[in-house]
A and B are shown apart, each in its own frame.
Chain A
Amino acid sequence: MKKYKYMMMLLGITALLGSCGNQGNGKGSSNGALSSSAAEKAYVAPGEHDEFYAFMSGGYSGNITVYGLPSGRMFKEIPVFSQFPTSGYGYSEETKPMLNTSFGFVPWDDSHHPDISQSNGELDGRWIFINGNNTPRIARVSLSTFETEEIIELPNSAGNHSSSFITENTEYVVAGTRFSVPVPQRDMPINEYKGNFKGALSFISVDPEHGHLDLKFQLMMPGFNYDLSHPGRGKSHGWFFFTTYNTEEANTLQEVNASQNDKDFIAAVNWKKIEEYVNNGGGTKVPAEYAHNVYDEQTHMATSTMKKEVLTVNPLDVPGAVFFLPTPKSPHGCDVDPSGQYIIGNGKLSADLTVHSFDKMIAAIEGEKFDGEAYGIPILKFEDVLAGVVKSGGLGPLHTEFDGQGNAYTTFFISSEVVKWKLGTWEVLDRQPTFYSVGHLMIPGGNSAKPFGKYVVAMNKITKDRYLPVGPEMEHSAQIYDISGDKMELIYDFPTHGEPHYAAGIPADLLAPKAKKIYRLTENEHPYAVLNPADARVERDGNVVHVYMSTIRSHFTPDNIEGIKVGDKVYFHITNHEQDFDVPHGFAMIGQNTSELLIMPGQTKTSLWEPKKPGVWPFYCTDFCSALHQEMQGYVRVSPAGSNVPLTYSLGD
């Protein structure tokens, strides 16, 4: 009874305080905790669909994970740069070439910044691009199959971090090098870095119809670290902006030595001008080695081609194409507002945000108001290009996104918060804590000309106590805030897979209707496909055996194979004859030195098995496909090398 009274009193006081607060800010805001229900806002009822897709990079998982917003439910992990035993990506014979590089087969990467294709600056939902940071690569993922279709390696690049950001009409996907390196690579003393290393900014053209990638040119910049980038849009379409740090060109103890200059630069690149120069025969072709891997949806197969040459451009050869905008305190994020007018440099060692004006930049360039040059590239005067400074009071600004209503949202890593501020007046409107140490944030379409400013997701670097403890290693945490009101409201908190560095969101109705459900058997052009179970067979060519196998609920054709010998290389080419949504079949063979396969309806995948011991060895379907799934199995008889058991295969005989 006493407790009850006490609680009532507390409630009363809280209500009083709440109403005071509302009066105080003079707007009659309805965002108080008592008058809203966070649970209702994040709740998506069973069987209902989310309003947005969120594609989060996996960081060191090398992949992309797909979530729904606002529920935070995870739908899929799309394998991109890493082998993925769940589907057999990078293990199947068809997909091994996807992970080929000039260094050979690289089974992993560190994926950072996904970006969805755009038309006229708006999300068009055809593809999503993402960078591999460690062994520099860019991938293109289909947004109808949600599978990786293409990966191109980048020569002369290292720590492919200011990537992969696309221009307003997906003309280019742009990738900058974080680490400068000798170009071409050579054996030289590390401490001769300064003045000798180069930073390559790669412009990869995207074929408008099929999305195919081609490394059109590399701009060979001074040996700084190119940290992040974003395209101009609207009035600034045709320009690309890159933050830099380590303009000191230090080669050791960068933690200290790369933080000496009070200001580093944002590099403004007029790519249209360089494109014109290149189209007119400009640039220098230099020898290079980089892999270009393409997956074909019809053959269900990837091919890898090694390219031998790249076109490089010296910025000094294209006057008026590249300028440096001084930006304080080792800027990290480089974000452009939806109108294309403001370029925001998030000085990560600063409390303030620097906002540059595109109009002022053009005026300064036209007035030739330069403040010196760096390696021949003109430096504009800081004061001449500055639009304003956001005095946030936070610490460690990293990234900014926009809601399309004239507001910007910036993450502060050190002070663990998202700060909402107004473009043009630079006034801080709201701030909300994150849990903990936020990196990127994402508003669906928040880095395009047309953001969908309903939610912002904060992706945190530190999880600690947010969820039940699971030992020292854990997933990262994300928070979702409703930003439809004046104040941001934390509505949900969910773990994310790997380390999401950045994410791209898009309204569900732009993607869901065109998501592929099955692959048509009639369109299957895999050279080893079995399109008719009567063609299922086993063929021997020396010690190479090809098993042409088909599956349907719930059997393999054939399911008994004899005449295999120790020392054979047995390729199981398995075609799934189902033509119904969500009926995959799996394939796994005992003792096989690779992963299982998961084969979608109408698809063909190939698994290599090198039997080592005589015996009768079972294989089975790994996906619970029907009531008779447990019966979906078969046997292979393996005889000693040199034996005479004839090659036979059967089903039901």
Chain B
Amino acid sequence: MKIIIRSLAIVFSTLLLSCGGKDEKKKDGFSVDREKSTEKPVEAVSETDAVPASQRITLDEKGVGQIKDITLDPEIDMEMAAKGEAIYNTNCTACHKLDKRFIGPSPKGIMERRSPEWIMNMILDPKLMTEQDRCAKDLLIEFNGAAMANQNLTVEETRAILEYFRTL
């Protein structure tokens, strides 16, 4: 029975395709029309899952790793930020651009979404974070499985990058 339905479906799609071929003009590439399911999934969607990880605000989460508590001075240390910018440019810009979403997200506005501890832990040990931190894990999936590279930066270098992020 199943087989019959499948065969019918194939015949039907073939028909549709050949019809389309006659009428449509030549286009670049190809596209597949998929009917989006109108039915809602049976499972209840939690608040967290509804918002893409990149847009979630998780300021209370400190992440997993060696950075437990960071207190930021109200004043931005511009000297440290400049150092951080240089380190960022060398080690991070291959994947993180300021003006756009690239391999990974832009660091612009990250201070409004993530805690300083989370940011530093993510830079210092991305593998541990994507294994144990919910948001980091979801980000990895959202960004196409492109695992963030561990650039073997020191805590001091990472702290400088954080200071640079405050200026963005």
Contact = CB atoms under 8 A, between A and B. Distances in A.
A557 interface: yes
A18 to B, nearest CB: 54
Contacts of A652: 102
Contact of A532 (B90, B103, B149, B151): B90
A626 B143 CA distance: 14
A552 B147 contact: no
Interface in B4-45: none
Interface string B132-154: 00000000000011110111110
A518 interface: yes
A581 B149 CA distance: 10
Contact of B153 (A550, A551, A579): A579
A615 B163 CA distance: 47
Contacts of A518: 152
A336 to B, nearest CB: 45
A533 B96 CA distance: 11
Interface in B109-152: 144-147, 149-152
Given A553-B149, A579-B149, A579-B150, A533 B93 contact: yes
Nearest to A627: B145
A555 B94 contact: yes
A652 B102 CA distance: 8
A577 B151 CA distance: 8
Interface string B75-99: 0000000000000011101110000
Contacts of A521: 90-91
A532 B153 contact: no
Contacts of B146: 553-554, 626-628
Q: How large is the interface on B (under 10, 10 to 19, 20 to 34, 35 or more residues)?
A: 10 to 19
Contacts of A94: none
Contacts of A534: 89, 93
B89 A578 contact: no
Contact of B150 (A531, A532, A554, A580): A580
Contacts of B150: 579-580
Contact of B152 (A579, A627, A628): A579
Contacts of B94: 533, 550-552, 555, 557, 577
Interface in A604-637: 626-628
Nearest to A518: B152
Interface string A501-526: 00000000000000000100110000
A330 B91 CA distance: 62
Nearest to A553: B149
Q: How large is the interface on A (under 10, 10 to 19, 20 to 34, 35 or more residues)?
A: 20 to 34
B151 A553 contact: no
Given A553-B147, A554-B146, A627-B147, A531 B90 contact: yes
A583 interface: yes
B151 A579 contact: yes
A577 B152 contact: no
B144 A628 contact: yes
Nearest to A555: B103
A583 B89 CA distance: 20
Contacts of B152: 518, 579-581
A632 B70 CA distance: 37
Contacts, number: 51
A56 B26 CA distance: 64
Contacts of A522: 90
Contacts of B151: 578-580
Nearest to A626: B147
Given A518-B152, A652-B102, A579 B91 contact: yes
A516 B67 CA distance: 26
Contacts of A626: 146-147
A582 to B, nearest CB: 11
Contacts of B91: 521, 577, 579
A334 B146 CA distance: 58
Nearest to B86: A532
Contacts of B144: 628
Contacts of A628: 144-146
A522 B103 CA distance: 23
Interface string A548-563: 0011111101000000
Among B89, B93, B145, which residue has the most Cβ atoms of chain A within 10 A?
B93
A532 B91 CA distance: 7
A177 B93 CA distance: 55
A91 to B, nearest CB: 26
Interface in A564-580: 577-580
Nearest to B140: A627
Contacts of B149: 552-553, 577-580, 583
Contacts of A555: 94, 103
B127 to A, nearest CB: 9
A577 B95 CA distance: 11
A532 B89 contact: yes
Contacts of A552: 94-95, 149
Nearest to B103: A555
A554 B153 CA distance: 20
Nearest to A524: B90
B32 to A, nearest CB: 20
A325 to B, nearest CB: 56
A445 B165 CA distance: 54
A116 to B, nearest CB: 29
Contacts of A533: 93-94
A30 to B, nearest CB: 48
A340 B145 CA distance: 62
Nearest to B91: A579
A76 B94 CA distance: 30
Contacts of A577: 90-91, 94, 149
Among A518, A551, A577, A628, which residue has the most Cβ atoms of chain B within 10 A?
A577
Among A533, A551, A554, A628, which residue has the most Cβ atoms of chain B within 10 A?
A533
Contacts of B90: 521-522, 531-532, 577
A403 B139 CA distance: 58
Contacts of B145: 627-628
Contacts of A532: 89-90, 93
A553 B91 CA distance: 12
A521 B153 CA distance: 11
A261 to B, nearest CB: 63
B86 to A, nearest CB: 9
A522 B86 CA distance: 11
B156 to A, nearest CB: 13
Contacts of B95: 552
Given A534-B89, A580-B152, A583-B149, 8 more contacts: A521-B91, A553-B146, A554-B146, A577-B90, A579-B151, A579-B153, A580-B149, A626-B147
15 contacts: A518-B152, A521-B90, A531-B90, A532-B90, A550-B94, A552-B94, A552-B95, A553-B146, A555-B94, A580-B151, A581-B152, A627-B147, A628-B144, A628-B145, A628-B146
* CB-CB nearest 8 A-B residue pairs: A552-B94, A579-B151, A580-B150, A579-B152, A533-B94, A532-B89, A627-B145, A533-B93
